[in-house]
A and B are shown apart, each in its own frame.
Chain A
Amino acid sequence: MEHDHMTIPKYLGVFAVLVVGTILTDYDATIDLDSIFPGANTLVALLIAFTKMACVMLFFMHVYWSPKLIWLAVIASFFWMAIMFAFTMADYFTRAAGVFTT
Chain B
Amino acid sequence: MQSADVIGSGFSDKPKLNYLTNGTTLKSWLLTKDHKRIAILYLISVSVFFLMGGVYAATIRLELLTPASDLLETGTYNKVFTQHGILMIFFFLIPSIPAVLGNFLLPIMIGAKDLALPRINLLSLYLYWLGGALALYGLMQGGVDTGWTFYTPYSTTFSNSYVLAVGVGIFINGFSSILTGLNFIVTIHTMRAPGMTWFRLPLFVWAMYAVSLVMILGTPVVAITVLLVAIERVARVGIFDPAIGGDPILFQHMFWFYSHPAVYIMVLPGMGVVSELISNFSRKKIFGYEFIAFSSIAIAVFGFLVWGHHMFVSGQSIYASMVFSFLTMVVAIPSAIKMFNWTATLYKGSIDFSTPMLYGLGFMGLFLIGGLTGLYLGAIGLTVHLTDTYYVVSHFHYVMVGGQVVAYLGGLHYWWPKITGKMYSEFWGKTSAMLVFVGFNLTFFPQLILGYMGMPRRYAAYPPEFQVLNIFSTAGASVLGIGMLLPVIYLLHSLVYGKPAGDNPWRLPGLEWRTSSPPPTENFEKMPVVTWEAYEFGEDNGLDLEEDRRRDLAPVA
Contact = CB atoms under 8 A, between A and B. Distances in A.
Contact of B308 (A80, A87, A95, A98): A87
B320 A84 contact: no
Contacts of B253: 84, 87-88, 91
B509 to A, nearest CB: 33
B318 A90 contact: no
A83 B316 CA distance: 17
Interface in B295-347: 304-305, 307-308, 311, 315-320, 322-324
Q: How large is the interface on B (under 10, 10 to 19, 20 to 34, 35 or more residues)?
A: 20 to 34
Interface in B131-158: none
B320 A90 contact: yes
B304 A83 contact: yes
B305 A99 contact: no
Contacts of B254: 84, 88
A99 B316 CA distance: 12
B217 A87 contact: no
A66 interface: no
B26 to A, nearest CB: 36
Contact of A87 (B221, B250, B305, B315): B305
B317 A77 contact: no
B304 A80 contact: yes
Contacts, number: 45
A91 B304 contact: no
B319 A90 contact: yes
A84 B315 CA distance: 18
Interface in A34-54: none
A99 B318 contact: yes
A101 B374 CA distance: 30
Contact of A94 (B249, B250, B311, B320): B320
B322 A99 contact: yes
Interface residues of A, number: 14
A94 B221 CA distance: 24
B159 to A, nearest CB: 24
A77 B322 contact: no
Contacts of A99: 318-319, 322
Q: Which has the most chain A C-beta neighbours within 10 Å: B320, B322, B323?
A: B320
Residue from B249, B316, B317, B324 with most neighbouring chain A CB atoms (10 Å):
B317
Contact of A91 (B221, B305, B308): B308
B257 interface: yes
Contacts of A88: 250, 253-254, 257
A87 B305 CA distance: 8
A91 B322 contact: no
Contacts of B305: 83, 87
Contacts of B249: 91
A91 B257 contact: no
A87 B320 contact: yes
A49 B427 CA distance: 62
Contacts of A97: 317, 319
B217 A80 contact: yes
B217 A91 contact: no
B152 to A, nearest CB: 15
A92 B265 CA distance: 28
B323 A90 contact: yes
Interface string B194-215: 0000000000000000000000
B300 to A, nearest CB: 11
Nearest to B218: A80
Instruction: Please indicate which of the listed interface residues A88, A91, A94, A97 has the most CB atoms of chain B within 10 Å of its own CB.
Output: A91
A14 B329 CA distance: 47
Contacts of B221: 84
Nearest to A76: B217
A83 B319 CA distance: 16
A83 B257 CA distance: 10
Given A83-B305, A91-B317, A97-B317, 6 more contacts: A80-B217, A87-B305, A87-B308, A87-B323, A99-B318, A99-B322
29 contacts: A77-B217, A80-B217, A83-B304, A83-B305, A84-B253, A84-B254, A87-B305, A87-B308, A87-B320, A88-B254, A88-B257, A90-B317, A90-B319, A90-B320, A91-B249, A91-B253, A91-B308, A91-B316, A94-B317, A94-B318, A94-B319, A94-B320, A95-B315, A95-B316, A95-B317, A97-B317, A97-B319, A98-B318, A99-B319
Rank and list the top 3 A-B pairs by shortest CB-CB distance, nearest first: A91-B320, A94-B319, A95-B317
Interface of A: 77, 80, 83-84, 87-88, 90-92, 94-95, 97-99
